[in-house]
Structure 1
Amino acid sequence: MSAPTNQPTPPIVAPPAAAAQAEQDPRERSAVGEAWAEIVHGSPSWLTSLALHMVVVILLALWSLPSLPELSKNLLLSEPSTEDENLDDFEEINLDQAELESEPVEFELQPEIEELAEEVSLSTFEDLTAAPTFTELSDVGLTPAAPSIPNDALGFSGVGTTGRGKMSLAAIAKAGGSAESEEAIENALRWIAEHQNPDGSWTLVHTAGPCQGRCPNPSNRGAAESLRAGTGLALLPFLGAGQTHKDGKYKRVVNRGLEAMARLAKNEDQGASWRDPGGAGAYSHGISAIALSEAYGMTGDSVLGSLAQAAVDHIIASQGADGGWRYRPRDPLGDTSVVGWQVMALKSAYLAHLQVPPVTVAGASQFLNTVARANGTEYTYLASDNATSPTRSSIGLLCRMYLGWNRENESLREGALKIAAVGPSENNYYYNYYASQVLFQYTGGKGAVWRKWNTDLREQLISQQATTGHAKGSWYVDGQHNDSGGRLYMTSLATMTLEVYYRYMPIYQADAVDKGFPE
């Protein structure tokens, strides 16, 4: 075997830790180097080669890795904003006013009748955003009502739309209602709902729908001649009880009724009309306009606002030269009965912030002057008449209050006492409906005059309501014009009369008068 050849000793590469220590202390560095040299020289050659190769591989790997991101800079630091922050842009959250998922249980006045309503397509009203006010649809009106006080230079004052629905039984009893009268309203609303036509409308010939003749005493007018009057009259008791197409057990019934009202509109040169064929068209239009305005005022639904304004525009355009309304548009001679429905519609529209021009309001007051008798305490049917009646006087006095008479007006006081002295009628529900509103608004639902009237009429209506069979919850008694209106007409009037406690706000109280509202 030949002697091994002398080869140079490979350079010694110190581990990183040793190198770091050597940089810190030269003496430690020489000592470590000597120790490391001993280890290398004393180790087998294959071990030394393995160690060197491992070091080379590690160095190559470190050299080829990409540089790591500066995590501390990216995650912990943020660049300053170049824009000024506006704290007003952020919505403040008030935890005290946060709405919780659980809601307080309310006393419900109406029975559940969800099973009565057919499944219908998504409402054209449901998804619309309510407008806070309504001013863009017509250039006829000049001054909508103020949102807080229902009175301004137009001369309108009195009845508001904020007193409807969902009062406690104790509050209703305080105003003059009772558990029995509320039960009568519940049964009435159920009966009206059960007699809705499949297309959502009602007709005064109620037997043409699901009733199938089980309830007697329909209107003696044709079904097609009373669609608009029937639909408007049927909707008003639901609205009077606080039921709308957005809220309440009857919202499907009301929604379908309002959709039917929209389909029944007829375009006119100005606005739209809901006039039924025949001489009663002015009545059906006024009733429909009230229903649309009330529904809009309660919900703010912009589609309903458009329809209601169109109905009001037609009333404005139909006013006669004497300031009144009658069977035909612009009839030169108005009558008190037709005028009553139109003035109620204008009042409801005004309170819903629709546009009603002052000249129309002034014209209505001018007409009432022509039919006023006995210093404004009584009213006739036509300006040429001298015969007054409790019904006509009730209509005239209610319109006077709508148009600005306050409770201190001596003619109003005397006229209201005359009505109270006559007392309720056994069969004239039209008179009872108007007279109840006059006395409730005049007395504010307080005092001996109101208690006497209310108790007598409330108990009479409860006793006259049908309590058995398919007619349960409805009303019909023989009387003048009752056969023309029929059972649906009488049921609607009776229900609205029983709803007087929460249908309208009693604004003729001392504090309201003392504020000196302008007339």
Structure 2
Amino acid sequence: MKKLPNYLATAIWILALGLFCNDLNAQRRGGGPAPRPSGGLSSVTGGIVGQNEHLSRNRRSLRFSFGDRGDAGKAVMSSAEMMRMQEASRERAMSWLTKQQKEDGYWEHTHGRVAHTGMAILCYLSNGDLPADHTNNGKALSKGLAWLLTQIRDNGALQDGDRMYGQAIGTLALSEAYSLTKDPAYGKPLDDLINVFLKTQNPETGGWRYYGYPTDKKSDTSVTGWVVMAIQSAKMAGVKIPEELSEKNEVFLKHVSTGKAGGIYGYTAGKAKPSTTSIGMYCQQLMGTRKGKRQDESASYLNMHRPDPKHSHQVVGCGKYHYWFYGTYAMYLHGGRSWADWDDKLHPALIKYQETDGHWKSEGPHAKKTGDVIATCWAIMALNAKYRCLPILNPKAGGSSSDSNKPSEG
């Protein structure tokens, strides 16, 4: 029998592996996270791993997976060299992040221990790590989650120096951890945590700001984006969400939107920016809005401002990594050519700007308040997006969006 050419044999192997990964992901979506045997279970491939095996080995199979949301999951084929660079970049970044953890289990570079720790937890989960893993990453994650649980007050408040940011990011971290592990310790406080958002949502315009209503009379896209992520993640985890939360969020997003199809978003109202448009687009996707003219307008606008390793970037607000994080999640879920064009530029750009020790520098007008830990977390989560480890990248609970039961626009 004539031997197949190497390139053809490799292509067949890649296709088979992609279909295998899709089947495992479909099984997990249908019945929730698979139970973890004593030897450990990879949250990415579902395969049993040894207690000391590094999960990055299992994640490698997803490099060629064609995804689990149709066009949204189609991974962009990278060269072998780029793949090796991505793996090295990710490992340096995770190693740096682990070294920043404090003895008590939290992270803090500037202010806001809860927000810092929540972001770090999300990075480990997006990396395919779980708290039961017998690895350095798994141990750091477990320690971080344990610390975060101690910060919840009797009334469900999880706020510290970053106020509503801490409440939202901390809630999101616990919700994602619960969805992936089904550990009741992470799921038990979710009802109380979500109730805080109900009490602090602006009753007229929807949305949230730094302290929440009634202290803040206005809402902004930045804080609201994190709250929407937390709410939808909790909904996917089985928490009953009051309809008014989602309905008022639709009101807020409409209030800050511009563009012919309403797909360009501002901070509070008025002038739109790429960063706030990426947040608005992702919120619409999480709330169940189907593809149509509005999302196409958002995607076109973001791709006009996509990452580019060959050109300098205008640094505004929290800097490019904040924008690239949200933009990557939104474009990934949008899928198709828009995602392919974005992803082609994202990884070379992130690798170019990464420091040799693995972190990314905070930048922009808010650099001192943001800090390198948060900037690095944004970059890591963008790097890991195509691996689909986070449930929030596989929204299935839908929302109350008025478009969710309609045919797609246009």
* Smaller-chain TM-score bracket: 0.7 to 0.9
For residue 202 of structure 1, give the secondary structure of its aligned residue in structure 2. Answer: coil
For 1:104 and 1:343, the matched residues in 2 are separated by 34
Provide Cα deviations, 1:166-210, integer angstroms capped at 9, x if missing partner: 35154269713623212211221111111111111111x2xxxxx
Please give the residue correspondences for 1:446-457 in structure 2 after superposition, counting only pairs within 5 Å.
446-447=336-337, 449-457=338-346
For residue 387 of structure 1, give the secondary structure of its aligned residue in structure 2. Answer: coil
Q: Higher Cα Rg: structure 1 or 2?
A: 1
For 1:402 and 1:433, the matched residues in 2 are separated by 15
Name the residue aligned to 2:69: none
Name the residue aligned to 1:188: 93
CA drift of 1:404 comes to 1.8
Can you give the 5+ residue segments of structure 2 that lack an aligned partner in the other structure?
1-36, 41-46, 67-73, 314-318, 396-402
Name the residue aligned to 2:295: 412
Please give the residue correspondences for 1:29-428 in structure 2 after superposition, counting only pairs within 5 Å.
108-110=54-56, 166=59, 168=61, 170-171=63-64, 175-176=75-76, 178-203=83-108, 205=109, 219=110, 225-247=111-133, 249=135, 250-268=137-155, 272-277=156-161, 280-321=162-203, 322-330=205-213, 331-374=216-259, 375-382=261-268, 385-407=269-291, 409-424=292-307, 426=313, 427-428=319-320
Provide Cα deviations, 1:204-242, integer angstroms capped at 9, x if missing partner: x2xxxxxxxxxxxxx3xxxxx411111111111001112
Provide Cα deviations, 1:330-386, integer angstroms capped at 9, x if missing partner: 23321111100000001111111112111111111111111111131111111xx31
CA drift of 1:507 comes to 6.2
For 2:386 and 2:290, the matched residues in 1 are separated by 19
CA RMSD, 1 decimal: 2.8
For 2:322 and 2:394, the matched residues in 1 are separated by 23
Provide Cα deviations, 1:428-460, integer angstroms capped at 9, x if missing partner: 1111111111111101xx43x322221212101
Can you give the 5+ residue segments of structure 1 that lack an aligned partner in the other structure?
1-98, 112-164, 206-218, 220-224, 509-515
How many pairs does the alignment contain?
A: 328
> Aligned partner of 1:435: which letter?
G
CA contact (8 A) 1:242 1:248 kept: no
CA drift of 1:482 comes to 2.3
CA contact (8 A) 1:109 1:182 kept: no
CA contact (8 A) 1:466 1:474 kept: yes
For 1:507 and 1:253, the matched residues in 2 are separated by 25
Taking structure 2 as the reference length, what is the TM-score of the superposition? 0.73
For 1:366 and 1:441, the matched residues in 2 are separated by 22
Q: Could you tell me which of 315, 319, 332 is aligned with 1:440?
A: 332
CA drift of 1:100 comes to 12
Name the residue aligned to 2:43: none
CA contact (8 A) 1:169 1:179 kept: no
For 1:170 and 1:391, the matched residues in 2 are separated by 27
For 1:100 and 1:391, the matched residues in 2 are separated by 43
CA drift of 1:101 comes to 8.9
CA drift of 1:314 comes to 1.2
CA drift of 1:479 comes to 2.2
Provide Cα deviations, 1:63-87, integer angstroms capped at 9, x if missing partner: xxxxxxxxxxxxxxxxxxxxxxxxx
CA contact (8 A) 1:109 1:186 kept: no
Q: Does 1:495 align with 2:380?
A: yes
Query: CA 1:340/1:245 → structure 2, altered by over 3 Å: closer, same or farther?
Result: same
Name the residue aligned to 1:464: 353
